[in-house]
């Protein structure tokens, strides 16, 4: 089981962490919320919990708890521009359905 | 699917509940909107990649107004309906606006509230509405970029903005449908952008040279509070003046004398500006001028020539800078960090001169056009609740003291300048005359001792005070300033509970230069103010004594006084009236003392009679307790 990050997203994360001045890496996860079952968590991580797994990809530590990993296995985190908006996108092969806005999903 | 941003640990929001907040730099020439995304504060560009939105609104008949570049393009063809630099009109009265009118080509009409209105093809528009159009445009840009509705915005205002100008800015946001999380002083925002608020304490200078205005602010940070120690500036000095200096030089070099062709002038200014910007990196830049006869002059503008042209203008910024430091009681070496704001501070020569003056290199790594908006965005992010609690919330202070008028045309300060806001202060006042049933509350802002030297913000009346002898009524006046620096005043008579209250709304105002002058004057006139205050105090006291003695003479003069005694009292009163008309406090004080002496026996006899009257008809044991 693994997760990874694209070069573009990694560059962006490294810049953000740099600017922030602290942080071990990026914490990815899922939690139950939203209009369609699950929602993604994307946060800076200041510490790593013992049960969490770490995947290093393009120089960025991706930190994830085992429960979330089940839902995110094989996910590639990308950074995209869509019109004026720009941000991170989870390319998650486990997703069976998304709500219209794409902020939550089901597996 | 939606694009996500990185949150602070534990701050991930539920889907559709992102707390989107922006910082807005609502500028005289250009405006910007910024937000914090994935921990980084950035200004948001439009679809063409432009971050700066020209603060220009073009009104059209039966159509939505144009804002920004499109409006700017219309300025030449349709000057009367294209409103630029509206910030200069915010919170101002018609009188002030007329004075500015020489600079602004608009037609003004008086509104019912005293607020000036601009005549346009789509009807009369107040400066608040014009500003609202700019804010609306930025709000739309932010919502399109962030993909959701904003919870609120932090909007920046100059440190010298008074209550009326702040309220006008807040009103504009309301009209634009924006929730104002906080109004933030521009220099404070610039300091926040550089993270200076993370230090324990310090003294900072914010040097802001924009297109058409120059501001210098000296800030002191202590315990999370930014205090504005001094501000100064020049409301008609900026990068535009540099462009004009270069354009004039080019024109003269081309062997031409006068230029009254507006079209040629505009092109010349554009080329001058391009040359100026090119010389930020290059050592020389080729320029040319097309003469009216079609021939072309080509020359080189090098850095030393440019320096000679702009040095007098840079020198003009150093005069207010010196003044601000003097007002703050500081030397250049006391300043720990210098922050540069405004596009004109990109010029290497400006940076050098500022560095030389303060003896240290200024902070320049954030784009000087964007630094204020970025600081505002950082504040907005905290206020919207996207940061853990540990993050310190920035406090602000009021720029000028708030007070009210008391007898004799004096100002009693209720909230002193540089108090942290929000704040509430109350003070008790009383009536001056017997049977007084109403009291006029005149709210003032400024540092001087006399009403005539301060700015009038509002007046209201407290009525239905029960008739009592002078000095018996207890009227509690409460001044409250909210987190945006907006003022409300309440007066309440304590025994009956009658109350009156007012919120300070934009009515009329002063020019930037006048506000700046008010601050300066308060320092340079400190001695004269003290003397004036003492004089007024004695004059008021004289008035009170004369009224009291006159009333006593009228009621009891016949009973207790011989003609001789009465004449002596009256002559002392006449002497006091003469002294009161003069301008020496000590002379009035002496005359009051003389009246006191002359009426001593009279007062004792009245008191005795009063006690006798009160006791008459009672037995002694009635008074035993």
pLDDT the model gives residue A72? 87
Q: Which residues pair with B184 in a beta bridge?
A: B156
CB-based contact B4 A87, cutoff 8 Å: yes
pLDDT the model gives residue B507? 38
Which residue range is the domain that position A64 belongs to? 4-106
Residue B60 to residue B52: CA distance in whole angstroms: 23
pLDDT the model gives residue B515? 47
Query: Which range scores top for mean pLDDT: A14-18, B53-57, B121-125, B196-200?
Result: B53-57
pLDDT the model gives residue B447? 78
* pLDDT, average across residues B246-258: 84
Residue B32 to residue B372: CA distance in whole angstroms: 9
Q: Give B490-556 as a DSSP string.
A: EEEETTT--EEEEE--------HHHHHHHHHHHHHTHHHHHHHHHHHHHHHHHHHHHHHHHHHHHHH
CB-based contact A103 B16, cutoff 8 Å: yes
* pLDDT, average across residues B342-365: 94
pLDDT the model gives residue B423? 82
pLDDT the model gives residue B22? 96
Residue B217 has pLDDT above 90, yes or no: yes
pLDDT mean across residues, chain B: 84
Provide residues of B within 8 Å CB-CB of chain A: 1-12, 14-16, 37-40, 44-47, 141, 144-147
For residue A85, the distance in angstroms to the closest alpha carbon of chain B comes to: 4
List chain B residues with CB under 8 Å of A35. 15-16
pLDDT the model gives residue B511? 46
Residue B200 has pLDDT above 80, yes or no: no
Token pair 């003392």: residue: B593
Q: pLDDT in tens for each of the 107 residues of chain A? A: 788 999 999 999 998 888 888 888 999 988 766 455 678 889 999 888 888 889 999 999 999 988 888 888 899 999 988 777 788 988 888 877 766 556 667 66
Question: Distances in Å between the alpha carbon of B182 and those of A81, B155, B321?
Answer: 31, 7, 28
B111-115, B191-195, B233-237, B435-439: the lowest-pLDDT one: B111-115
pLDDT the model gives residue A107? 64
B99-130 tens-digit pLDDT: 655 555 677 776 555 567 788 888 888 888 89
pLDDT the model gives residue B506? 38
pLDDT the model gives residue B510? 43
Mapping DSSP onto H, E and C, the string for B151-218 reads CEEEEEECCCCCHHHHHHHHHHHHHCCCCEEEEEEHHHHHHHHCCHHHCCEEEEEEEEECCCCEEEEE
The first and second tokens of residue B186, run together, are: 């521009």
Going B342 to B344 to B347 to B353, the CA torsion angle's sign is negative
* pLDDT, average across residues B161-188: 87
- The vertex-B164 CA angle with B158 and B169, nearest 5°, equals 60
pLDDT the model gives residue A37? 65
Q: What are phi and psi of B141, to 5 degrees?
A: -60, -45
Which of the two residues, B147 and B346, has the higher pLDDT score? Answer: B346
Residue B415 to residue B406: CA distance in whole angstroms: 15
- The vertex-B34 CA angle with B33 and B36, nearest 5°, equals 155
Rounded to the nearest angstrom, the gap between the alpha carbon of residue B280 and the centroid of all alpha carbons in its chain is 34
pLDDT the model gives residue B207? 96
pLDDT the model gives residue A23? 87
Residue B345 has pLDDT above 90, yes or no: yes
Quick check: B72 and B56 in contact, CB under 8 A?
yes
Quick check: B403 and B447 in contact, CB under 8 A?
no
pLDDT the model gives residue A36? 57
Quick check: B195 and B204 in contact, CB under 8 A?
no
* pLDDT, average across residues B222-229: 78
* B52 — pLDDT class (breaks 50, 70, 90): very high
Does a cis peptide bond (omega within 30 degrees of 0) precede residue B422? yes
Report the 10 Å Cβ neighbour count for B543: 16
Radius of gyration for the alpha carbons in chain B, expressed in angstroms and rounded: 31
Of A16, A39, A43, the CB nearest to B9: A43
B414-423 tens-digit pLDDT: 888 767 777 8
Query: Which range scores top for mean pLDDT: A95-104, B222-231, B351-360, B553-562?
Result: B351-360
Number of structural domains chain A divides into: 1
Question: Phi-psi bin for B477: left (phi > 0), alpha (psi -120 to 50), beta?
Answer: beta
Burial of B371 (0-12, 13-18, 19+ CB in 10 A): buried
Burial of B607 (0-12, 13-18, 19+ CB in 10 A): exposed
Residue B407 to residue B541: CA distance in whole angstroms: 10
A32 contacts chain B (CB < 8 A)? no
The first and second tokens of residue A6, run together, are: 């694209």
B147-156, B392-401, B431-440, B613-622: the lowest-pLDDT one: B392-401
- The vertex-A84 CA angle with A80 and A86, nearest 5°, equals 25
CB-based contact A102 B1, cutoff 8 Å: yes
Burial of A86 (0-12, 13-18, 19+ CB in 10 A): middle
Quick check: B310 and B301 in contact, CB under 8 A?
no
What pTM was computed for the model?
0.64
pLDDT the model gives residue B195? 87
Q: What whole-number percentage of chain B has pLDDT above 90?
A: 29
Q: What are phi and psi of B556, to 5 degrees?
A: -120, 5
List chain B residues with CB under 8 Å of A103. 1-2, 4, 15-16
The CATH number of residue A68's host domain is 2.60.300.12
Which A residues, 50 through 79, put their C-beta within 8 Å of a C-beta on chain B? none
Q: What are phi and psi of B210, to 5 degrees?
A: -100, -160
Of B12, B16, B39, the CB nearest to A41: B12
Quick check: B338 and B358 in contact, CB under 8 A?
yes
CB-based contact A84 B15, cutoff 8 Å: no
* pLDDT, average across residues B375-387: 87
pLDDT the model gives residue B53? 95
Residue B391 has pLDDT above 60, yes or no: no
Nearest to residue B458, comparing CAs of B475, B469, B473, B443? B443
SS3 category, B27 = coil
CB-based contact A85 B12, cutoff 8 Å: no
pLDDT the model gives residue B516? 55
Please tell me chain A's helix, strand, coil percentages from 3-state DSSP, rounded to the nearest 5: 20, 45, 35
B65-69, B129-133, B446-450: the lowest-pLDDT one: B446-450
* pLDDT, average across residues B176-186: 90
B585-603 tens-digit pLDDT: 889 989 999 998 888 888 8
Rounded to the nearest angstrom, the gap between the alpha carbon of residue B625 and the centroid of all alpha carbons in its chain is 61
ipTM of the complex: 0.81
HSE-up of A102 (CA within 13 Å, CB side)?
A: 10
């Amino acid at each position: 089981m693994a997760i990874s990050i694209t070069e573009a997203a990694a560059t962006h994360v490294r810049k953000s962490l740099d600017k922030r001045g602290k942080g071990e890496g990026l914490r990815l996860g899922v939690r139950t919320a939203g209009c369609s079952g699950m929602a993604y968590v994307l946060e800076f991580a200041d510490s790593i919990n013992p049960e969490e797994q770490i995947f290093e990809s393009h120089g960025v530590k991706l930190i994830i708890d085992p429960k979330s990993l089940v839902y995110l296995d094989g996910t590639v985190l990308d950074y995209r521009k869509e019109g004026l908006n720009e941000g991170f996108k989870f390319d998650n092969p486990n997703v069976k359905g998304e709500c219209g806005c794409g902020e939550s999903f089901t597996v | 699917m939606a694009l996500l941003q990185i949150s602070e640990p534990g701050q991930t929001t539920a889907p559709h509940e992102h707390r989107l907040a922006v910082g807005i730099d609502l500028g005289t020439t250009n405006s910007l909107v910024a937000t914090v995304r994935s921990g980084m504060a950035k200004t948001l560009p439009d679809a063409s990649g432009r971050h700066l939105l020209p603060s220009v609104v073009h009104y059209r008949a039966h159509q939505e107004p144009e804002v920004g570049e499109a409006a700017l393009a219309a300025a030449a063809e349709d000057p009367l309906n294209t409103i630029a630099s509206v910030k200069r009109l915010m919170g101002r009265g018609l009188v002030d606006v007329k004075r500015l009118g020489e600079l602004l080509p608009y037609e003004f009409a008086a509104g019912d509230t005293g607020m000036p209105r601009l005549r346009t093809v789509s009807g009369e528009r107040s400066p608040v509405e014009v500003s609202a159009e700019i804010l609306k445009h930025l709000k739309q840009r932010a919502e399109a970029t962030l993909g959701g509705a904003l919870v609120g915005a932090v909007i920046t205002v100059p440190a010298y903005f008074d209550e009326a100008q702040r309220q006008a800015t807040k009103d504009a946001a309301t009209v634009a449908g924006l929730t104002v999380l906080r109004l933030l002083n521009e220099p404070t925002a610039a300091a926040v952008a550089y993270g200076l608020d993370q230090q324990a304490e310090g003294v900072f200078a914010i040097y802001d040279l924009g297109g058409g205005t120059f501001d210098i602010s000296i800030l002191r940070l202590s315990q999370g509070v930014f205090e504005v120690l001094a501000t100064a500036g020049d409301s008609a000095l900026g990068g535009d003046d540099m462009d004009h200096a270069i354009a004039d030089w080019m024109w003269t070099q081309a062997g031409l004398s006068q230029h009254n062709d507006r079209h040629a002038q505009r092109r010349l200014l554009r080329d001058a500006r391009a040359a100026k910007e090119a010389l930020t990196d290059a050592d020389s830049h080729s320029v040319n001028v097309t003469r009216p006869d079609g021939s072309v002059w080509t020359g080189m503008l090098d850095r030393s020539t440019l320096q000679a042209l702009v040095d007098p203008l840079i020198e003009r910024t150093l005069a207010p800078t010196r003044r601000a430091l003097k007002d703050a009681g500081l030397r250049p070496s006391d300043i720990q960090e210098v922050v540069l704001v405004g596009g004109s501070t990109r010029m290497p020569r400006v940076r050098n001169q500022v560095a030389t003056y303060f003896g240290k290199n200024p902070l320049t790594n954030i784009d000087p056009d964007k630094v204020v908006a970025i600081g505002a965005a950082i504040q907005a992010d905290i206020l919207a609740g996207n940061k853990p609690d540990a993050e310190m919330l920035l406090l602000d202070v009021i720029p000028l003291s708030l007070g009210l008028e008391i007898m004799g045309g004096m100002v009693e300060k209720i909230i002193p300048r540089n108090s942290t806001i929000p704040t509430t202060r109350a003070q008790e006042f009383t009536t001056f005359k017997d049977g007084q049933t109403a009291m006029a509350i005149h709210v003032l802002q400024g540092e001087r001792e006399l009403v005539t030297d301060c700015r009038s913000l509002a007046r209201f009346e407290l009525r239905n005070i029960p008739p009592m002898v002078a000095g018996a009524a207890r009227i509690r006046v409460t001044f409250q300033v909210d987190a945006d620096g907006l003022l409300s005043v309440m007066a309440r008579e304590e025994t009956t509970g009658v109350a009156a209250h007012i919120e300070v709304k934009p009515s009329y105002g002063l020019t930037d230069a006048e506000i700046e002058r008010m601050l300066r004057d308060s320092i340079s006139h400190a001695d004269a103010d003290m003397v004036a205050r003492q004089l007024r105090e004695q004059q008021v006291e004289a008035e009170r004594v004369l009224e009291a003695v006159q009333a006593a003479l009228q009621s009891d003069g016949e009973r207790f006084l011989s003609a001789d005694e009465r004449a002596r009292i009256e002559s002392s009163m006449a002497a006091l009236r003469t002294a009161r008309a003069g301008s020496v406090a000590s002379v009035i004080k002496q005359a009051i003392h003389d009246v006191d002496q002359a009426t001593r026996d009279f007062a004792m006899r009245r008191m005795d009679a009063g006690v006798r009257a009160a006791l008459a008809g009672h037995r002694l044991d009635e008074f035993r307790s």
